[in-house]
Amino acid sequence: MAGILIRWTTFGVLLTALALFFLATSFSRAAAVVNKDRVSRPDPGFLLHMARSGRTAAQSLLGEMYLKGEEVPQDFGEALKWLRAAASSGDADAQERLGFMYETGKGVERDPDMAAKWYGKAMRQGHVLAYYKLHFSYVGEINIP
């Protein structure tokens, strides 16, 4: 009986180590894409091609680039177009960025209710910044849709 327990324990340790290895490699790949300080953003032309083909992540990233004027000229109309496309596909980052646009009036008419709508959608997907903005910026000002 002890031999079986040792084998299962060893097997469990190996599976745990293997799972941690794959988890660590996937996080390091994600960090290379997400961490803006260490890695430059993809080529805007490539992103535009991917966004036009319906890639939600490319739409979201391209919208953010237009919103901030990073590696492309700042264009709130283009930012709104790509962020809406990504947000309607369920991208929480794009939903939070749309909330920001409506909160601040960048490229759209300032609308706290629309900001709350988009922040709420992002928050329901676990977007921490949207949660913060919705709960601490708008306490008592708006109704959460």
* Lookup: tokens for 20: 């941690």
**Shared-domain flag, residues 107 and 46:** yes
Domain count, the chain: 2
Of the two residues 30 and 134, the one the predictor is more confident about is: 134
- Residue span of the structural domain in which 1 resides: 1-39
* Lookup: tokens for 80: 């709104």
**Shared-domain flag, residues 128 and 64:** yes
CATH number at residue 131: 1.25.40.10
Q: What's the per-residue H, E or C state across 49-83?
A: HHHHCCCHHHHHHHHHHHHHCCCCCCCHHHHHHHH
Task: Answer yes or no: is pLDDT of 30 > 70.
Answer: no
Residue 133's pLDDT is 86
**Shared-domain flag, residues 54 and 15:** no
Question: Mean per-residue pLDDT for 4-33?
Answer: 47
pLDDT tens, position by position, 124-142: 999 999 988 887 766 555 5
pTM of structure = 0.67
pLDDT tens, position by position, 65-88: 999 999 999 999 999 999 999 999
**Shared-domain flag, residues 72 and 100:** yes
**Shared-domain flag, residues 48 and 1:** no
**Shared-domain flag, residues 95 and 52:** yes
**Shared-domain flag, residues 26 and 52:** no
Of 106, 133, 137, 111, nearest in space to 121 by CA: 133
Of 122, 116, 86, 85, nearest in space to 103 by CA: 116
Q: What is the mean pLDDT of the chain?
A: 77
**Shared-domain flag, residues 47 and 112:** yes
**Shared-domain flag, residues 138 and 81:** yes
